[in-house]
Amino acid sequence: MDGLRHFLDTFFDLPMIGGTLLQLLREGLLNTLLLAVLASAIGLVIGIVFAGGLMSRFRAVRMPCRIYVDVLRGLPHILSVYLIGQGLPLAGLTVFGDWTYGYAALAIGLMEGAYMAEIFRSGFQSVEPGIVEAARSLGLAHLKTMRLIVIPIGIRRVLPALTGQFILVIKSTALVYLLGLASGQREMFAIAQDTAVNNASLAPLVAAGLIYLAITVPLTYAVNAWDRRLRDGRPGAPKPQPVPAEEAVA
């Protein structure tokens, strides 16, 4: 009985969970979403640019992009956050001044940009060659064909995968506490970690986990439903009927 009580007090101290939830919702949730949006915006820009580089016909362009993608995807996230988030200021590259969010968003954005580059590349390469050839036959240059035809179609096809990547960005924001945040800048994990240390209890971390789950689980199901809808079409939508042979010949 004492062991069960100790277990419950360690993980499920309800008063502490309730108090932590209020602080997480008041401060941590907004900061977490802000970091996720900033990092995703950086990752999207990097992903599109490097996806184009991966598809380049020129080896001098393609190889640096491939090295970037392989290195950033191969390194552990925690190491990348340290090297970028703490390394840049230590090296004198204070591009964001004292704004820790900038370095945190850049660190996560650079990592996610490598993953998004592969997502975009697969989407762009999935565009049927006939569509590209038709655009070129109308006189569109290569870059204009990419901008007006390939990129819009490719992005639409990878939207579910990109949304799923945004879920990973939300979870990656938990590593930002490594950079050190001021009291009003802490995201959810940092708040839960500080509260857990101060109270010698893991209940605050359980509270943070509940909010992460409340965000990521519905998004995951929404992404899966969206992906099925894009693949299968809208429920009840009329399916194209085959053309009779005599009409096709005519």
pLDDT tens readout for residues 57-91: 899 999 999 999 999 999 888 888 888 888 888 88
Evaluate if residue 243 carries a pLDDT over 50.
Answer: no
Query: How far apart are alpha carbons 85 and 179 in whole angstroms?
Result: 7
* Residue 245 belongs to some domain of the structure: no
Structural tokens at position 220: 């995951």
Decide: 109 and 40 in contact? Cβ < 8 Å.
yes
Query: How far apart are alpha carbons 190 and 181 in whole angstroms?
Result: 8
Q: For residues 197-224, b (16+ Cβ closer than 10 Å) or e, as one string?
A: eeeebbbbbbbbeebbeebbeeeeeebe
Long-range residue pairs from 125-132, CB within 8 A, at least 24 positions apart, any chain: 125/55, 125/154, 126/154, 126/157, 127/153, 127/154
H/E stretch holding 101:
helix 100-125
Q: What average pLDDT does the structure give for the chain?
A: 84
* Residue 175 belongs to some domain of the structure: yes
Query: How far apart are alpha carbons 63 and 68 in whole angstroms?
Result: 9
* Residue 214 belongs to some domain of the structure: yes
List the one residue out of 62, 52, 60, 191 whose CA is nearest residue 116: 52
- pTM for the model: 0.80
pLDDT range class, residue 205, cuts 50, 70, 90: very high
List the one residue out of 110, 124, 100, 145 whose CA is nearest residue 40: 110
- For 19-41, the DSSP string reads HHHHHIIIIIHHHHHHHHHHHHH
CATH code, 202? 1.10.3720.10
List the one residue out of 54, 184, 194, 34 whose CA is nearest residue 108: 34
* Residue 249 belongs to some domain of the structure: no
Domains in the chain: how many in total? Answer: 1
* Residue 242 belongs to some domain of the structure: no
Evaluate if residue 245 carries a pLDDT over 70.
Answer: no
Residue-wise pLDDT tens digits, 7-64 = 777 788 888 889 899 989 988 898 899 899 999 999 999 999 999 899 888 999 999 9
CA angle 165, 168, 172 (to 5 degrees): 140
Residue-wise pLDDT tens digits, 138-149 = 888 878 888 888
* Residue 244 belongs to some domain of the structure: no
- CB neighbours of 151 closer than 8 A, spacing ≥ 6? 48, 124
Evaluate if residue 114 carries a pLDDT over 90.
Answer: yes
* Residue 94 belongs to some domain of the structure: yes
Helix, strand counts (H, E) of the chain: 14, 0
Mean pLDDT of 219-240: 71
| Structural domain range at position 211 | 2-233
